[in-house]
Amino acid sequence: MPNPLNEPTQFQKQLRLQKARSLLLMESADATEVAYRAGYESASQFSREYSRMFGFPPKADIKRLKETFEQIERNTDQIFVGTLT
C-alpha cells in the first residue's frame, strides 16, 4: 500500500481534512461551512473524502469524538475525586 505522505496531493488532502475535523470539533460549525472553509467546492465531495479518511461521516465522527472526550473527562474526574477522599 503506498504511503500517502509520498504524494503531495494526498498529503495536502490529509491536512485539509485534519483542519476541517478540528473546525468541526472546536467551533461546532456545520459540515457545509467547514467544507468550503477547508477548500472543498462541494459538501458531498468533502463528506465522501472525510468518511474515507476517518471512517465516519463528519457529523457521526464529531459526535463520537465528543462522547469519547466526555467519557475520558468523567473517568479522570472520578480518579481525582477518589484520590482526594
The tens digit of pLDDT for each residue in 31-65 reads: 999 999 999 999 999 999 999 999 999 999 999 99
If you search the block for the grid coordinates 498529503, which residue do you land on? 11
Residue 78 confidence (pLDDT):
72
Q: What is the CATH number of the domain that holds 64?
A: 1.10.10.60
pTM higher than the cut 0.95: no
pLDDT-wise least confident of 25-29, 37-41, 64-68: 25-29
The residues near 55 (Cβ < 8 Å, ≥ 6 apart) are 61
Domain count, the chain: 1
The tens digit of pLDDT for each residue in 1-23 reads: 556 556 888 989 999 999 999 99
Residue 64 confidence (pLDDT):
96
The residues near 62 (Cβ < 8 Å, ≥ 6 apart) are 21, 24, 25
Range of the domain at 23: 4-84
- Would you tell me how many other CB atoms lie within 10 Å of the CB of residue 10? 13
If you search the block for the grid coordinates 504511503, which residue do you land on? 3
